[in-house]
């Protein structure tokens, strides 16, 4: 099957900065794909390469089997939901949504009808006459989404689409985006620096760092089986364990990781386990996050709220199931 | 852990007033910000109200007087006769000539200014931006008269422009243009074409700067969004850039249009002997001594600008502000 988007050794350099460096990537049609990484990791540049705002310095990009290098954005059947929405301030909501159809020459009654339907799809029916300036952040987000979807794109690109929304709204939009993608069957590619968002929404996630893809996989893969220290550290708050520590438990001299929820903390001072000292507690509602110091090694553990805890500074004993210990590809 | 220097125990929660007149005034202005605003605006409002608006009203009143044609004395009775005089063929000619020139100068300035402003707003950074501002402002630093006389030399029959056309083998083009009615003449420096060129040159910075400011406020991602939605560069210009730059173009055109309407020096030095409104005002209030007609002529640009702004507003020029 042809990939929706295919990158073959794609690089984009800005002078001496390698924003994207020899990236290979295959995204399947109908997939909900997340590009995750810290700022400056190259994920947004990848998105802009697909949209056509950037051209690759080297390598080739195909969209549904067709070569895309040198093709301007307006000839790609790909639409973008911009980070700050980029709604046209001089047009009302309906004209904003109908813009793509207008420039393609669709007649006025027809395009306004399609725009009205797209607004219903994002649950903003009847908002057409308003100006973007009169809408809240969440509403602008929906308008931007409708404006992209009305063109029936082959691929929808979302650049940090939920970044500017508050927590409650963000959670709602996450669910809505997901169900919308299921209904429409369009390939969604979205960029985010929020690992929770990437894990909860995407079918597959690519983790970016320094212009390269560190790992591609299902959210579970990425979360449970990180391949490198960077992925373990960036995706969630895994404890990264040095090779010397891992060797004691597995016999292999390589980096490993352990999820904070896999660590049990007891107040025993002797017995099997890792001796540590409690250096801080962080109340998170349903859970409490503990900062621990095991002979110079900083560890985090998450325990259910309400667990009896020793006072800060006291000695504790850490135990964990060896099966939860994950060995990474990265050698010492 | 305490750091002595950052220990807040010895500091009071409310600081004492700094005392003296300054302290009292600072506190007063903080509590009554409108008082400060009033005191700051009072001098400029007095200046504007009395010196500027006052003299303008005095001028407008003059336009409702008339001149006694035999004695040359001003008859201080309310009449619309002077305004009627504006519609005499010779005077109407002056008005039409000036308005046409102002409109053409404005149009040409907008067309020339847009690419320059676009470059400055979108691409120029750091040193290039400084160079842009310098390039646009530099002509404003030298005297207006010096520039106009310089242009007279450039446009003269023996001037550098004729020489350049000769070198390029294009003299036929220049001669052909000069032989045309209305726009032509003996040389560029005594033709309306010359007047037009110098007007555009002198007022261009007043168009570039507001257009550049307007384009600067257009977020770059709107251009990308338009392109993303399938608009070609031409469509993006028509549907996004131009509407959003329109307030700047209108602001710039207010300058170029009204400055051309009122100027009396450029057409005096470069151009034909036919008058523009500014020259008519100058000669009517000077040699002819017909102050009411001069005043009535002065009202013409004000009325035209009023209609112009009203039309621009109706066209939605200020919607994007």
Q: pLDDT tens-digit profile of A94-104?
A: 999 999 999 99
Mutate to test the interface with A, among B224, B229, B316 (most CBs of A within 10 A): B229
**Which of helix, strand or coil describes residue B310?**
helix
CB-closest option in B230, B319, B320 to A103: B230
User: B239, A100: Cβ pair inside 8 Å?
Assistant: no
**Which of helix, strand or coil describes residue B72?**
coil
Average pLDDT score, chain A:
90
Instruction: Check residue A115 and give its pLDDT.
Output: 95
CA-nearest residue to B320 within chain A is: A90
Chain A CB contacts of B247 below 8 Å: none
- Whole-number Å distance between alpha carbons of B214 and B88: 42
Strand-pairing partners, residue A315, are A277
CB-closest option in A73, A84, A88 to B240: A88
Looking at residue B138, the DSSP 8-state letter turns out to be: H
CB-closest option in A51, A88, A104 to B228: A51
CB-closest option in A52, A74, A84 to B231: A74
CA distances in angstroms from A152 to A76, A147, A174, B229, listed in the order given: 12, 10, 20, 11
Closest among B167, B191, B164 to B177, alpha carbons compared: B191
To the nearest whole angstrom, how far is the Cα of A53 from the nearest Cα of chain B?
7
Q: pLDDT tens-digit profile of A107-161?
A: 999 999 999 999 998 888 989 999 999 998 889 999 999 999 999 999 999 998 8
To the nearest whole angstrom, how far is the Cα of B235 from the nearest Cα of chain A?
7
Chain A CB contacts of B226 below 8 Å: 88, 99, 103
CA-nearest residue to B230 within chain A is: A74
The answer to whether A203 and A31 are in contact (CB under 8 A) is yes
DSSP string, A178-195: HHHHHHH--EEEEEES-H
* ipTM score assigned to the predicted complex: 0.84
Position B59 pLDDT exceeds 90? no
To the nearest whole angstrom, how far is the Cα of A77 from the nearest Cα of chain B?
8
Element containing residue B75 per DSSP (H, E): strand B74-75
To the nearest whole angstrom, how far is the Cα of B279 from the nearest Cα of chain A?
42
With a CB cutoff of 8 Å and minimum separation 6, the contacts of A240 are A229, A232, A233, A255, A256, A257
Domain ranges (residues) in chain B: 89-314
Q: pLDDT tens-digit profile of B265-286?
A: 999 999 888 889 999 888 888 8
Closest among A110, A141, A109 to A127, alpha carbons compared: A141
Position B257 pLDDT exceeds 70? yes
Strand-pairing partners, residue A81, are A158
CATH 1.10.3720.10 for domain B89-314, yes or no, is: yes
Measure CA of the first residue to CA of the last residue in chain B; give whole Å: 54
**Which of helix, strand or coil describes residue B180?**
coil
Which is more confident, B151 or A252?
Answer: B151
Mutate to test the interface with B, among A99, A132, A148 (most CBs of B within 10 A): A99
Instruction: Check residue A156 and give its pLDDT.
Output: 96
A102 interfaces chain B, CB cutoff of 8 Å: yes
A297 interfaces chain B, CB cutoff of 8 Å: no
Phi-psi map region of A210: left, alpha, beta (phi>0 left; psi -120 to 50 alpha) = left
Chain B CB contacts of A148 below 8 Å: 229
Position A237 pLDDT exceeds 80? no
> HSE-up of B178 (CA within 13 Å, CB side)?
21
User: B239, A51: Cβ pair inside 8 Å?
Assistant: no
The answer to which of A4-13, A268-277, A300-309 has the lowest mean pLDDT is A268-277
With a CB cutoff of 8 Å and minimum separation 6, the contacts of A224 are A259, A326
A134 interfaces chain B, CB cutoff of 8 Å: no
CB count, 10 Å around CB of A100?
Answer: 27
Position A277 pLDDT exceeds 70? yes
Tell me the average pLDDT across A251-272.
84
The answer to whether B185 and B174 are in contact (CB under 8 A) is no
User: B228, A80: Cβ pair inside 8 Å?
Assistant: yes
Tell me the average pLDDT across B228-241.
94
Torsion of CA A148, A149, A155, A156, to 10 degrees: 60
Q: Which domains does chain A have, with CATH numbers?
A: 5-233 (3.40.50.300), 237-331 (2.40.50.140)
To the nearest whole angstrom, how far is the Cα of B177 from the nearest Cα of chain A?
41
The answer to which of A137-141, B11-15, B226-230 has the lowest mean pLDDT is B11-15
């Amino acid at each position: 099957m042809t990939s929706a988007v295919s990158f073959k050794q794609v690089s984009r350099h800005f002078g001496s900065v390698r924003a994207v460096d020899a990236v290979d990537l295959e995204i399947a049609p109908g997939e909900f794909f997340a590009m995750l990484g810290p700022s400056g990791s190259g994920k947004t540049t990848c998105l802009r390469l697909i949209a056509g705002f950037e051209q690759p310095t080297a390598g080739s990009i195909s969209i549904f089997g067709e070569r895309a290098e040198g093709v301007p954005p307006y000839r790609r059947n790909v639409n973008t939901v911009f980070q700050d929405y980029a709604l046209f301030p001089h047009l009302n909501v309906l004209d904003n949504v109908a813009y793509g159809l207008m420039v393609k020459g669709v007649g006025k009654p027809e395009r306004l009808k399609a725009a009205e339907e797209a607004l219903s799809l994002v649950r903003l029916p009847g908002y057409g006459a308003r100006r973007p300036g009169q809408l809240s952040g969440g509403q602008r987000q929906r308008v931007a989404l409708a404006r992209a979807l009305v063109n029936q794109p082959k691929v929808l690109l979302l650049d940090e689409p939920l970044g500017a929304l508050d927590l409650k709204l963000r959670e709602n939009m996450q669910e809505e985006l997901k169900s919308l993608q299921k209904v429409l069957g369009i390939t969604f590619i979205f960029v985010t620096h929020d690992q929770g968002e990437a894990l909860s929404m995407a079918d597959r996630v690519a983790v970016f760092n320094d212009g390269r893809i560190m790992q591609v996989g299902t959210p579970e893969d990425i979360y449970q089986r990180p391949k490198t220290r960077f992925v373990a550290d960036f995706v969630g708050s895994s404890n990264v364990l040095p090779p010397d520590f891992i060797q004691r438990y597995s016999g292999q001299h390589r980096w490993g990781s352990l999820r904070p929820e896999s660590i049990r903390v007891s107040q025993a001072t002797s017995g099997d386990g890792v001796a540590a000292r409690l250096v801080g507690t962080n109340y998170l509602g349903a859970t409490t996050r503990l900062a621990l110091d095991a002979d110079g090694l900083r560890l985090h553990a998450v325990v259910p709220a309400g667990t009896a805890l020793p006072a800060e500074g006291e000695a504790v004993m850490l135990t964990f199931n060896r099966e939860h210990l994950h060995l990474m590809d990265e050698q010492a | 852990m305490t750091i002595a220097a950052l220990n807040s125990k010895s500091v009071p929660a409310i600081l004492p007033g700094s005392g003296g007149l300054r302290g009292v005034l600072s506190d007063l202005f903080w509590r009554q910000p409108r008082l400060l605003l009033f005191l700051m605006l009072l001098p400029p409002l007095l200046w504007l109200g009395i010196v500027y608006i006052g003299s303008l009203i005095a001028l407008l009143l003059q336009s409702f007087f008339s001149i006694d044609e035999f004695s040359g004395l001003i008859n201080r009775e309310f009449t619309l006769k002077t305004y009627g005089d504006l519609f005499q063929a010779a005077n109407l000619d002056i008005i039409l000539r000036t308005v046409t020139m102002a409109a053409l100068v404005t149009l040409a300035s907008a067309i020339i200014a847009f690419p320059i402003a676009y470059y400055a707003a979108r691409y120029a950074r750091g040193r290039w931006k400084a160079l842009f501002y310098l390039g646009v402002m530099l002509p404003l630093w030298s005297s207006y008269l010096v520039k106009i006389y310089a242009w007279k030399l450039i446009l003269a029959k023996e001037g550098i422009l004729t020489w350049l056309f000769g070198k390029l083998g294009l003299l036929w083009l220049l001669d052909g243009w000069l032989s045309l009615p209305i726009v032509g003449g003996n040389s560029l420096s005594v033709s309306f074409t010359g007047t037009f060129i110098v007007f555009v040159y002198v007022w261009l910075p007043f168009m570039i700067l507001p257009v550049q400011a307007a384009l600067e406020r257009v977020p770059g991602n709107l251009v990308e969004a338009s392109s993303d939605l399938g608009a070609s560069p031409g469509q993006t210009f028509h549907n996004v850039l131009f509407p959003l730059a329109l307030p700047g173009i209108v602001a710039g055109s207010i300058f170029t249009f009204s400055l051309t309407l009122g100027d009396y020096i450029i057409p005096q030095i470069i151009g034909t002997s036919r008058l523009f409104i500014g020259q008519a005002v100058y000669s009517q209030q000077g040699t002819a001594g017909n102050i009411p007609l001069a005043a009535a002529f002065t009202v013409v640009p004000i009325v035209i600008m009023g209609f112009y702004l009203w039309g621009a507003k109706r066209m939605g020029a200020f919607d994007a502000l």
